[in-house]
Amino acid sequence: MGEWWTTVPIGTSLGNDEISSISHVTMSPSRQNNLVSMYSSLPPSRSSYHVLSSFCTEDNIPQCISYINQELDSLGLSSCIEASAPGGAGLSRVPALNAMHELMELHRRDMSTLEELEREQLKKCSALDHIQMNNSRLKDQLELSIREKSGLHETERQLQLKIKTMQSCLKTEKDEVQKLQSVVAGRASQYSHDAKRKEREAAKLKERLSQLLVDRKDKKLAIDVLNYLGRPDGKRSHWKTAKATVGHEGEMYKSLLNDYEVSQRSLMLENAELKKVLQQMKKEMIHVLSPRQPSPRGAAADDSQDQADSDEEEKPADSSRETLDQSCEYAKEQLANSIRQQWRKLRNHMEKLDSQASLVQSQLESNREMIPRETHKDEMERMRREVQQCKEFIHVQQQLLQQQLNTSFDDETAALLNDCYTLEEKERLKEEWRLFEEQKRNFERERKNFTEAAIRLGREKKAFEEDRASWLKNQFLNMTPFTDRRRCSSSDGQSALSIRSEPEMRMSSTKAQLAQSSTYTTFSTPKPSQSAAVPSTTELYRTLRLIPDSR
Amino acid sequence: MNFSEVFKQSNQLCKVSPDGKYLATCVQYRLVVRDVSTLQILQLYTCLDQISHMDWSSDSLFILCAMYKRGLVQVWSLEQPDWHCKIDEGSIGLVSSRWSPDGRHILNTTEFHLRVTVWSLCTKAVSYIKYPKACQKGIDFSRDGCYMALAERRDCKDYVSVFVCDDWHLLRHFETETQDLAGLEWSPNGCVLAVWDSCLEYKVLLYSLDGRLLSAYSAYEWSLGVKSVTWSPNSQFLAIGSYDEKVRILNHITWKKITQFEHPSSINNTKAVVYKEVEKRTAVGSDDLSLHITIGTALYNTRSKYEICPSPVQIPVVKPDPDRANPKIGVSSLAFSSDSRYLATKNDNMASVVWVWDMQKMSLVAVLEQTSAVRCFQWDPCRPRLALCTGNTTLYLWSPAGCVSVQVPTEGGFQVQSLNWHRSGDSLMLLGKEQLCLCYMDTDQEDK
């Protein structure tokens, strides 16, 4: 539309130059450029005229007019263009001019506002530049000041530190001053005390002196002895002579020398002892170090060399020690040096061993650490579980025990319960009793049998004795010429004897079981107690010769 | 342990003769001589005035009794009771009196220390020694009795004179490098003389018998210095106790410090045994009261025994008044046992504690904490046994085997204020304020 604006005035009677001058006056320089560039395209006015003519031709004048009126309306201008004659080709001049004027006014106003705006913008641009410059300057300043501030902080800190140290110094100085003050106070009090004492003494002296001067009767000092004593050692006292003086000096020096000699002797002994100890230590150190020699060949090469040297040194030294004075400077130095050397070697050796040991230890620990930790944990868990179980078990047991102890029984159930513990034993006991009873019964029975047998035996024995006696009698009688008469009686005896022998034999078998009286074969007449009653056991035994006859 | 009956004495003047056979005590103006074993009175002498000082001669034949107020000295003979000797110092006064080592001369120091008069009991000779110094210990005799060292002060300078006791010949006279000599002591072997300065300056000088300076030792400057000095019986060590609560030991070969013993208020040493005295008061029953009142015992029977305290132990410390002179701080008492094996020390601001140190190991062996301030302690002359007393009715004994406290069984409460061993180590003489009691050691029973 702007192009339309510029080109419209060209189409009217105003010339190009006038337009350009108007536009020169009203437009800003920047706009001027535009216009110039515009005008560079304008010289072929015909082309612009062609543009104009393309909008409005002879034919479409009323359309153009209506169109322009619309446009003017839209722009808010009151005037509008009329045609000079309806349907005519020309325009009425006045409204057209008015319209043009209004448009020009409008344009002028716009141009001025444009100028204003441009001016404003320029101003703002410059202000912005200015502010930006300021900003950057201030930023720089700020940075600088921040840096300064940190620098100052640093110095402040250092100063604070210095202050602290100064304060502590001051404190120590103060303490020292206090201490010194107290010392001074102590000394002052001591001095004053001494001074007072001396003053008192002086006063006493003065008093005494004045008293003496007044008194004038001097009490002579005297000694009053009944009789003088002899000297403690009984000798006479000597005159004080120069010889005596010298003698005293001599005595004094003698005693001093004695003392020195004694101390020197003891020191020498001590010295010898210590030397011996050192020698021994050295030998032992060599001994300790020597087994190590074969393994580290390289390192020990010079060691062994040194040692060999020292050994070599020692050997002649040892032999010469007897000849040399013990306190010979050289020997002493040598001993000290060799001890130091050996000690150094030993120390290095120990250090090496220590490092090795610590290395090994750390290795061991690192090895042990990884595996045992897990197993350690497992073990711990297991053990804990076990412990728990055991605890529970113990607890349960305790509870049961408590229960048992705590429940109150009546006597029967208590007795019953107590009985059940001894049930087994009771059964056993019963069994044994039973057996015992049985045995007893058996024994009784056998005893009875035995007694009966013994009685029977006694009787049979008696019968046998009678038979024997008769038989013997018969024999005896038979031996004599009177045998015939007695034959009949002996046969009786014999028959009796034979009859008797059987049960005897039977008896003897039983007897053999019961008694061992077979040894007692001497016949003797039984006791006359031939009662039908059962003889007593003792009598029985006596007959059977189980017990000796009562004597 | 047996206790004898209680005898009267005055002024703490009770001494056993050097040969150990007789006991001399002073009661006011009387001198009583008893036999040590039977305690029978052998002799009784009467002096002219109250006896201020009494001493035996070295051969146990004579006793001197000095009466300072009157300026008199009386000498008595044991063998011949009729023999008498009276020395009158006249108007010049008397401040101290002592025997010479040969037992035949008496040295009297006059008032104001104007001079020392040497009176001879054998001859009519009298000697004078001028300008003796008035100090803590100005005169010392060597142990063999040959030499006497005397401190002198002339023209504001200290000197030491060495005299031969035979004929009082001046052997050596030399100036000492001290500001204000406080004391001197011969070493037991008689070859070295230790000289120390007053407490304002820590300085210990060692001079040989012929007057050469062997060594000078100073531990520190400015603070109060030496309080006490003692030699070990074998002359190997010199123990110096000072106001800084430490004991420094010098050795006789180099005269340099070999160790120092400190007395801290809290003991952390686990090797040392700390014995603490614990008092148990058992009330006397009312029935007994009526009986006892007539005899006059205490209402409570205080029995004390030792308890062993586990470390760490806190020792009660009494801070002395800083403004007073001679403050009660520092090691004031030192004593070596007869075999030089042990050293017993007492620090004045821990007055109820005795510290026992082992000289072989150079470390603390035992600490004895009592309920009240220790008044006196002394080693048995024959064995390593320490007897101490604190002013109550108990006697305390320490030995490496243990500690024991023994009640002195006397009626009327005998407060033991000081004690002295008999030279045989078999008996102890206990001195109270006005009383004396002998304690006989039967067996060496010691329990903890």
Residues of chain A positioned with their CB less than 8 A from the CB of B89: 221
In terms of pLDDT, which residue wins out, A215 or B397?
A: B397
Tell me which chain B residues have a C-beta less than 8 angstroms from the C-beta of A226: 82-85
Residue B357: pLDDT over 90: yes
Mean per-residue pLDDT, B38-67: 93
The pLDDT value given to residue A323? 41
Q: What is the mean pLDDT of chain B?
A: 88
Query: Which stretches of chain A score pLDDT less than 70?
Result: 1-53, 86-89, 218, 232-240, 292-327, 368-372, 408-414, 417-419, 480-551
* Interchain CB distance below 8 Å, A240 and B167: yes
Name every chain A residue with its beta carbon within 8 A of the beta carbon of B102: 231-232
Answer whether the bond into residue B101 is a cis peptide, omega within 30°. Answer: no
Rounded Cα–Cα distance for residues B101 and B58 (Å):
6
Measured on CA atoms in the order A305, A310, A315, A317, is the torsion positive or negative? positive
pLDDT at B302: 65
Q: Could you tell me which residues come within 8 angstroms of residue A41 by beta carbon, excluding any fewer than 6 positions away? A: A47
Interface test with A, best of B58, B88, B193, B231 (most A CBs within 10 A): B88
Cβ–Cβ gap A228/B103 under 8 Å: no
- For residues B348-356, give the mean pLDDT: 93
Q: DSSP letter at B132?
A: B
CA B91 to chain A, closest CA, distance in angstroms equals: 5
Distance from CA of B266 to the nearest CA of A (A): 23
Contact between A80 and A72 under an 8 Å Cβ cutoff? The reply is yes
Residue contact B167–A191, C-beta within 8 A: no
- Residue B293 confidence (pLDDT): 42
Plot region of A216 (φ>0 → left; ψ -120 to 50 → alpha; else → beta): left
Q: Which residues of B touch A268 (CB under 8 A)?
A: none
CA–CA gap between residue A71 and residue A106 (Å, rounded): 13
Q: Which residues contact B304 (CB under 8 A, 6 or more apart)?
A: B277, B278, B279, B280, B371, B394, B405
Q: Which residues of A touch B90 (CB under 8 A)?
A: 218-222
CA distance B211 to A332: 34
CA atoms of A218 and B89, how far apart (whole Å): 11
Long-range pairs for A490-495 at CB < 8 Å and ≥24 separation? A493/A467, A493/A468, A494/A467
For residue A256, give the nearest of B59, B191, B323 by CB distance.
B191
CB contact under 8 A, B117 and A249: no
Q: Quickly state the pLDDT bin for B48 (edges 50, 70, 90).
A: very high
**The two structure tokens encoding residue A9:** 């005035």
Give burial (CB, 10 Å; 0-12/13-18/19+) of A536.
exposed
Query: What percent of chain B has pLDDT above 70?
Result: 94
Give the whole-angstrom CA distance, residue A17 versus residue B448. 141
Beta bridge partners of B429: B420, B438
Distance CA B139, CA B193 (A): 12
Distances (CA, A) of A551 to A323, A524, A548: 110, 16, 8
List CB contacts (< 8 A) between B79 and chain A: none
Closest alpha carbon within chain B to A230: B122
The nearest alpha carbon in chain A to B89 belongs to A221
What does the pLDDT average to over B363-389?
93
Cβ pairs bridging A and B (under 8 Å)? 122
| Chain B residue whose CA is closest to A238 | B167
Give residue-wise pLDDT tens across range B328-342: 999 999 999 999 999
Q: What pLDDT, on the 0 to 100 scale, is given for residue A370?
A: 59
Picking from B122, B197, B254 by the largest number of A CB atoms within 10 A of its own CB, the best residue to mutate is B122
Greatest C-alpha distance within chain A:
240
Optimal mutation site among A197, A209, A211, A259, interface B, most CBs of chain B within 10 A: A259
What CA dihedral angle connects B414, B419, B422 and B425, to 10 degrees?
100
Q: What is the pLDDT of residues A207-250, one digit of tens each?
A: 888 888 887 776 777 778 777 777 766 666 666 677 878 888 88
By DSSP bridging, strand B342-347 and strand B353-358 are antiparallel
pLDDT on residue B303: 73
Q: What are phi and psi of A129, to 5 degrees?
A: -55, -45
Higher pLDDT, A35 or B113: B113
Contacts of A186 in chain B (CB under 8 A): 223-224, 322, 327
B275-325 per-position pLDDT tens digit: 888 887 665 554 444 444 433 344 555 677 888 888 788 888 988 887 888
Contact A225 B88 (CB under 8 A): no
Residues of B in contact with A231 (CB under 8 A): 102, 104, 122
Residue in A with minimal Cα distance to B105? A231
pLDDT band (50, 70, 90) for residue B380: very high
